[in-house]
Amino acid sequence: MIAVFQDMPAAGLKLANINAMEGAAHAAAAAGSRLIVFPELFLTGYNIGQQALHELAEPVDGPSVRAIADIARQHGIGIITGMPERNGDDVFNAAVAVDASGRIAGLYRKIHLFGPAERSAFTPGSEICVVELAGRRVGLAVCYDIEFPEMARALVRAGADLICAPTANMSPYWEVPTTLLRARALENGIPVAYANLVGDDGELTYTGMSCIVGADGRDVARAGAEGRALLCCSFGSVAAGGGCDQLSTQATDVRLDILSAWAAG
């Protein structure tokens, strides 16, 4: 099973947010989930300002990820969560993946930074990331990344059979968790797990509507636009099959040889 957690983290309070992750991981594991996905920058909060993000940023082998690894090991569940990650002088909007043994399975640094606040706070990533987690090949994306068809297609071509996207999608972009998420799943024949923030955060209002969308582009589980939620579903219920390949053939039929030449020109 896979789980997605929707909530608002405590601004700047890493220990409180790690404790929230522990509670959600415990509940998800008790329900039989082997993997849980948390929202973008859930470790620190999203809308806390550049100075706070830089002060709270940690390397991937820092104390917060070690604590998250302990949670994964204790409950026997893989964890994907967003965090500000420091590497020397650079700070990245990152998603870290930890497997059920507590091993760091992978680190993804957000490639597509959204708006001037993110572009001033973070260094953009430069590599896609597909990791082995809970018996799946998981492609990682962070929020705005999943709005680009090219991103999902690149992850699928790199071998992903599931995309997990920690997210901080806010109003007025209500079509992202509905229309765009379903399109990414359907056009690639791959399930997508989307963990969003929810509620008011200063001048921002997050849209919630976290979801697990099947390979046929249909919702398997969806949270509302308000309130905390924990979604759990079986891997089998989101996998390709049952006619999905016939519904969507774009991933195999796309003529990148032609389209890439036009894009380059």
Active-site amino acid positions:
40, 110, 143
Is 190 in contact with 162 (CB distance < 8 Å)?
Answer: yes
Cα(144)–Cα(175) distance, integer angstroms: 12
Cα(59)–Cα(39) distance, integer angstroms: 19
Amino acid symbol at 7:
D
At 39, list the tokens. 């929202």
Cα(166)–Cα(1) distance, integer angstroms: 18
Closest by CA position to 162, among listed 197, 134, 126, 142: 134
Instruction: Please state, in angstroms and as integers, the Cα–Cα distance from residue 59 to each residue in 15, 44, 69, 78, 111, following that order.
Output: 16, 14, 14, 19, 18
At 91, list the tokens. 């700070």
Cα(104)–Cα(97) distance, integer angstroms: 6
- Asked whether the CA dihedral 151, 176, 250, 164 is positive or negative, the reply is positive
Is 201 in contact with 45 (CB distance < 8 Å)?
Answer: yes
Is 145 in contact with 110 (CB distance < 8 Å)?
Answer: yes
Amino acid symbol at 114:
F
Cα(256)–Cα(171) distance, integer angstroms: 34
